[in-house]
Amino acid sequence: MKQNITLSLDRVIIKKAKVLAAKKEASVTKLLAEQLTRIVSEDDQYASSKRRALARLRKGFHLGGRILAKREELHERR
């Protein structure tokens, strides 16, 4: 469901936005809607990527190495 919002912008910005929209054969509303959609989508993707990365870090990584020495040998007291 779509809903309208009210926005207060400087007149110079509005004029420039109208010119830009005309160049792109779109409305100012369409340009703003596309940009807001892109920003929200990028934020959602960032949050999702961050959750996945943190989960991988919590799990840890096995780098394939093997420890051949025993703990006592590595921490030998003299």
pLDDT at position 40 is: 98
| Sequence ranges of the domains in the chain | 11-59
pLDDT tens per residue across all 78 residues of the chain:
989 999 999 999 999 999 999 999 999 999 999 999 999 999 999 999 999 999 999 999 888 888 788 888 888 766
Quote the tokens at residue 18: 């109208």
Write the DSSP string, the chain: ----------HHHHHHHHHHHHHTTS-HHHHHHHHHHHHHHHHHHHHHHHHHHHHHHHH----S----S-HHHHT---
CB 17 within 8 A of CB 31: yes
Rounded distance between C-alpha atoms, residue 40 and residue 58, angstroms? 27
